Amino acid sequence: PDRIAVTSIASFDPQGDNGTEHEDQVLQALDGNTGTAWRSEQYGDPEKMAGKDGVGLILTLDGTHDVGQVDVRSPEGGWSAQVYVVDGDAPTDLAGWGEPAASVQGAAAGLTRFAPIDARGDHVLVWFTRTADSGEVAVSELAVRAP
């Protein structure tokens, strides 16, 4: 499926200190280099994540699109995540994103494909609800694809 252009990326940490998490690294999830990665902070317990519901990355698309799949490449396994799609302004809290369009539990290292997704919008949230076994989330590449 054709790749949808992403115009910006931002971290999403609504329960964190300032609403972001390692914002200075987010472009490493879109740089085409699997040797670089956005990494969350280190959490002692992969399940509890310091009492947070999760942490994520928001992708802004170059317009409203039908979204068919989201590819997440990570050098580590064990993480779980959900994908949300909205049209219009990106919500500032998780509830505003509605219901997840897809989810994966206990992903393996390497490429994880969230599909099929049957959603239309201009913002995609990849929301990690469990870190990798190491206690952090690492995303080396992200791609949003048409159906």
Structure tokens at 17: 């200190």
Q: How confident is the model at residue 73 (pLDDT cuts 50, 70, 90)?
A: very high
The position carrying tokens 């990494």 is: 39
Structure tokens at 85: 């799609």
Kindly report the pTM of this predicted structure.
Answer: 0.97
Which residues 6+ apart lie within 8 Å of 107 measured at CB? 72, 74, 77, 78, 79, 80, 81
pLDDT > 70 in the chain, percent: 100
From CA 131, how far away is CA 134, in angstroms rounded?
Answer: 7
Question: Helices (DSSP H) in 8-81: which residue ranges?
Answer: none
From CA 87, how far away is CA 134, in angstroms rounded?
Answer: 34
